[in-house]
């Protein structure tokens, strides 16, 4: 049986975060994950997690000045102080709620200086996380995240290899990889040794995984055959009530 994590950055956004956790439990999810939970007291989140028995897999670092178009800080030259403060904040929140991973968002940047900055900030993140937490980096496709520093899986794999820290891993989002690189199954197999979390959504509209260009039944079967055991992150956009989008949950859980 495939297990699933509800990404509460997209699912049940009409509810307060503790109530969204409870809704995920009622719906049958096996875990939850967050985008930016910082406006909610960690004690309230922890209480909801304890009440439901759901683990929280991970959360993101802050994006920066969203109104100005920022989408992460870690690859922005001259912003190391802010980037590291965001990393430390995310790690503290993750510790408070028991999250196993922090996704360090690179931001919109390009060039050698951006790469050097990103690596330096990731080294800080890996050292600060220690052996108890994973640091994730995620390539984002250029349609949803134009100008984002990290856009392809081979770029992420090179950075992971160069840093060489055992707690730095790849966030493999089937949606982003499918939009940018196309060969989701092939990339999964090739990158499996460095993957730390897997997410999914329909291609190309980022909706529920019951339609679109990619049939997720064989994808999930391949993931299981590779030996993956952690819940897969349902990070898809809904229009209307989240409950109305969950027809896929039981059929694909049987894969």
List residues with catalytic annotation. 138, 235
- Residues 193, 203 contacting (CB under 8 angstroms): no
Give burial (CB, 10 Å; 0-12/13-18/19+) of 15.
middle
- Of the chain, the end-to-end C-alpha distance in Å amounts to 6
CA dihedral 95, 89, 176, 241 (to 10 degrees): 70
What is the CB neighbour count within 10 angstroms for residue 114? 19
Find out whether 148 and 107 touch, Cβ atoms under 8 Å. Answer: yes
């Amino acid at each position: 049986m495939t297990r699933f994590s509800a990404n509460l950055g997209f699912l049940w956004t009409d509810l307060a975060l503790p109530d969204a956790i409870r809704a995920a439990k009622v719906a049958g999810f096996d875990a939850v994950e967050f985008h930016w939970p910082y406006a909610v007291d960690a004690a309230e989140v922890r209480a909801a997690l304890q009440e439901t028995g759901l683990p929280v897999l991970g959360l993101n670092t802050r994006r920066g000045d969203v109104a100005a178009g920022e989408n992460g800080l870690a690859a922005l030259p001259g912003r190391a102080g802010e980037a590291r403060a965001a990393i430390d904040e995310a790690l503290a929140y993750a510790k408070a709620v028991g999250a196993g991973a922090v996704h360090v968002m690179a931001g919109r940047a390009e060039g050698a200086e951006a790469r050097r900055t990103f690596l330096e900030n990731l080294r800080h993140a890996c050292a600060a996380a220690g052996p108890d937490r994973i640091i994730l980096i995620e390539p984002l496709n250029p349609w949803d995240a134009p100008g984002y520093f990290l856009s392809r899986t081979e770029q992420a794999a090179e950075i992971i290899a160069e840093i060489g820290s055992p707690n730095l891993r790849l966030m493999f989002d089937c949606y982003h990889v499918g939009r940018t690189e196309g060969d989701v199954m092939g990339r999964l197999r090739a990158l499996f040794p460095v993957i730390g979390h897997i997410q999914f959504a329909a291609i190309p509209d980022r909706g529920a995984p019951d339609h679109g260009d990619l049939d997720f039944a064989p994808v999930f079967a391949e993931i299981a055959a590779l030996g993956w055991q952690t819940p897969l992150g349902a990070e898809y956009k809904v229009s209307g009530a989240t409950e109305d989008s969950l027809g896929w949950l039981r059929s694909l859980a049987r894969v």
